[in-house]
Amino acid sequence: MSHRLVVLISGRGTNLQAILEAIARDQLTAEVALVVSSRADAGGLDIATRAGIPTAVVRRKEYPGRAEFDQALCKVIDDHHPDTLVLAGFMHVLGPEFVNHYPGRLLNIHPSLLPHYRGLDTHARVLAAGDSDHGCSVHFVTEELDGGPLIARALVPVLANDTEETLSKRVQSREHVLYPLVLSWRASGRLRLTEKGVELDGRLLPPEGFQLDWEDHPGPVSVAASDFGR
Ligand code: NHR
Ligand code: GAR
């Protein structure tokens, strides 16, 4: 039985697209069972539809509180029996009702080198601070916003003439490599959250997670198939 992913989005869905491309290239042995969007106009919905994947829209505004929103999401999702839930540009904070329903099965990609720059507008804040390194992080989602155990980070340099646009593009090109890589570990049963922390192949990862360096995979190229799960 193939590993079932449910992907939650609010926007363009380029990470969803990268996941689907990794599946098509046999770098990721999994299937996207459902795409859930919090916005009816999210570009990612078209990507899903074109790929023949079922979609659902659950709008935050239609529910009086976060608990009701969380419950509505769970209801839509659970019919599709996910093994792993994938937040990919999902823009709403999830409460305990949702997070605790999927212990050790809920992942997020965040556009910063966590634990630095939790929350929104990360690229602007990195530029304002004058940092020389930036990147993205994949982590298990807990109740603590952007604070769950780290699985992997990809580093990118900040260049002298960077704008929010050029910097976010560089970070996103890494997201499209890092997320499929992490999901391939998940789908092949290599990645687990235990009481001790995040384990890959039964070995505890360091608190900052696995590190993908810019030099190893510069530019918008995909990781070699050999770097993915067996
Ligand atoms: N939920 C929990 N419990 N824990 C996490 O780590 C989560 C989460 C939900 C989403 C993604 C996250 C990111 O990668 C994420 C991680 C939205 C906000 C936010 O403040 C913050 C972080 C993330 C996603 N959203 C506003 C809110 O009030 C709404 C902003 C808007 O609609 O534009 O929900 O960055
Ligand atoms: C990605 O850069 C992701 O890291 C970020 O939004 C973008 C989504 O792009 N996530 C957040 O900011 C979560 N608050 P996509 O819709 O094209 O995958």
Each domain of the chain, given as residue ranges in start order, spans 3-227
pTM: 0.94
Residue 81 falls in the annotated catalytic set: no
- The predicted structure's pLDDT at residue 101: 97
- The predicted structure's pLDDT at residue 221: 39
230 vs 71, 108, 193, CA distance in Å? Answer: 36, 23, 20
CB distance 101 to 124 below 8 Å: no
CATH 3.40.50.12780 fits 3-227, yes or no: no
- The predicted structure's pLDDT at residue 1: 75
- The predicted structure's pLDDT at residue 91: 97
Catalytic residue among 3, 80, 81, 110: 110
Distance 111 CA to ligand 2 centre (A): 7
- The predicted structure's pLDDT at residue 222: 41
Distance 94 CA to ligand 1 centre (A): 7
Residue with the two structure tokens 């505890």: 204
The residues of the chain scoring below 50 in pLDDT are: 219-230
- The predicted structure's pLDDT at residue 217: 58
Task: Kindly report the protein residue whose alpha carbon is nearest to atom 26 of ligand 1.
Answer: 92
Beta carbon of 172 within 6 Å of any ligand 2 atom: yes
97, exposed or middle or buried, with CB in 10 Å at 0-12, 13-18, 19+?
middle
Distance 17 CA to ligand 2 centre (A): 12
